[in-house]
Amino acid sequence: MKYPPSLVALIRELSRLPGVGPKSAQRLAFHLFEQPREDTERLASAIMSAKRDLHTCPKCFNITDREFCDVCTDPARDQELICVVEEPGDLIAIERSGEYRGLYHVLHGAISPMNGVGPDKLMIKPLLPRVAAGMEVILATSTTVEGEATSLYLQRLLEPLGATVSRIAYGLPVGGALEYADEVTLGRALTGRQRLTR
Amino acid sequence: MKYPPSLVALIRELSRLPGVGPKSAQRLAFHLFEQPREDTERLASAIMSAKRDLHTCPKCFNITDREFCDVCTDPARDQELICVVEEPGDLIAIERSGEYRGLYHVLHGAISPMNGVGPDKLMIKPLLPRVAAGMEVILATSTTVEGEATSLYLQRLLEPLGATVSRIAYGLPVGGALEYADEVTLGRALTGRQRLTR
């Protein structure tokens, strides 16, 4: 008994997805097999049309289906403030917080020599002409080793341009119990303490 | 800032897959966006052609791309032995063990009143004409509550037909340490002990 070739092909393609191993690819394939044809057609065409319609904004490298993205074309946005993030998903997360009204710049990754990702593989070069003296650049890369390295690299590159370079705050997550915070986070939360005003 | 509609559609379709929540659907969508067009096209067409080429074998309800499945059309298979499983994946798992040379019957589920799955929603009816006096039917449904209920239901249905009805053995998994086995499994392994012969 062998799998039919089209089932083998489907399992192989599904197992290329991040976080999907051979076992879950098989489970997904059987699931798709059991679904009505309209549902699987909708999935396949959603994949195709997303790939056809979407591209990166030539200014900030956010995902968009227009010439420039919604943020870059919004005149109400603070044009003197750029928030640098690793991935389009990070931008969405910040938008969701509702705390930010400036522009963005999406790097599409973080510097990671271990994985062969140098600064030239990221959208760092197109960031430089966007930064002018007097502007503020917020470095909102992850607080991982790679994100920290990227932040440090950008800081050294951007400060000579006369921009104010800042880093998002480290600290306790809101709703987090002190007891469960790791010691590094707790240390950073103490160092970064803010005076309360009345 | 809003997601472009085709990205929203892709995330929605991906989050319908089993085990994929809204967050991982978003991650998968961004991943697909970053892939070369050939790769996403291959995935979409694999989904479409699997759906087009595959159907269930009208005899045993295994997945196949021919009229009857590889097992049903293999004359070397023992025609007097039917192994009943819940899903096509279970059939593959048994085939991989290399211990079985009979036929199969795939129920496409297990009886689960909690989820509204009664015996009539499974491929139980087409099993009956396949079973004749003198044959053996091995019930290889899961050892979950649903699998046990299905096994019991089938046993009552099949025994009056004059078939020998058996259930796959309960016991310790091979390579499993006694210490870590749960008490129910251990109890079943003791009850089902087999005499060693020289």
Contact A9 B46 (CB under 8 A): yes
Q: Does B1 touch chain A (CB under 8 A)?
A: yes
pLDDT tens per residue across span B126-141? 999 999 999 999 999 9
CA angle B126, B129, B130 (to 5 degrees): 90
Q: Does A47 touch chain B (CB under 8 A)?
A: yes
- What residues contact A184, with CB distance under 8 A and at least 6 apart? none
pLDDT > 80? residue B196: no
DSSP labels, chain A: ----HHHHHHHHHHTTSTT--HHHHHHHHHHHHHS-HHHHHHHHHHHHHHHHH-EE-TTT--EESSSS-TTTT-TTSEEEEEEEESSHHHHHHHHHHT---EEEEE-SS--BGGGTB-GGGTTTGGGGGG--TT-EEEE---SSHHHHHHHHHHHHHHGGGT-EEEEPPP-PPTT--GGGS-HHHHHHHHHT------
- Encode A120-148: b = buried (16+ Cβ within 10 Å), e = exposed: eebebeebeebbeeebebbbbbbeeebbb
**Closest-approach residue (CA) in chain A for B94:** A1
Q: Does A101 touch chain B (CB under 8 A)?
A: no
DSSP labels, B174-196: TT--GGGS-HHHHHHHHHT----
pLDDT tens per residue across span A10-41? 999 999 999 899 889 999 999 999 899 999 99
Provide the pairing of β-strand B63-64 with B55-56.
antiparallel
Sign for the pseudo-dihedral over CA of A114, A116, A120, A124: negative
pLDDT at A193: 80
- Alpha-carbon distance of B119 to B149, in angstroms, equals 10
pLDDT tens per residue across span A153-169? 999 999 999 999 999 88
pLDDT at B1: 63
- What residues contact B17, with CB distance under 8 A and at least 6 apart? A28, A31, A32, A43, B25
Chain A residues 15-34 within an 8 A CB cutoff of chain B: 16-19, 24, 26-34
Percent helix / strand / coil, chain B, rounded to 5: 45, 15, 40
Closest CA–CA distance from residue A84 to any residue of chain B (Å): 16
- ipTM score of the complex? 0.75
One digit per residue, the tens of pLDDT, for chain A of length 198 reads 678 889 999 999 999 999 899 889 999 999 999 899 999 999 999 999 998 999 999 999 999 999 999 999 999 999 999 999 999 988 988 888 888 899 999 999 999 999 999 999 999 999 999 999 999 999 999 989 999 999 999 999 999 999 999 998 888 787 777 777 788 888 888 888 877 776
Residue numbers in A near B62 (CB within 8 A):
1
pTM to 2 decimals?
A: 0.75
Phi, psi (rounded to 5 degrees) for A182: -75, 160
Q: Does A14 touch chain B (CB under 8 A)?
A: yes
Inter-chain contacts counted by CB atoms under 8 A, chains A and B:
164
Closest CA–CA distance from residue A41 to any residue of chain B (Å): 7
Contact A4 B65 (CB under 8 A): yes
pLDDT tens per residue across span B72-105? 999 999 999 999 999 998 998 888 888 889 999 9
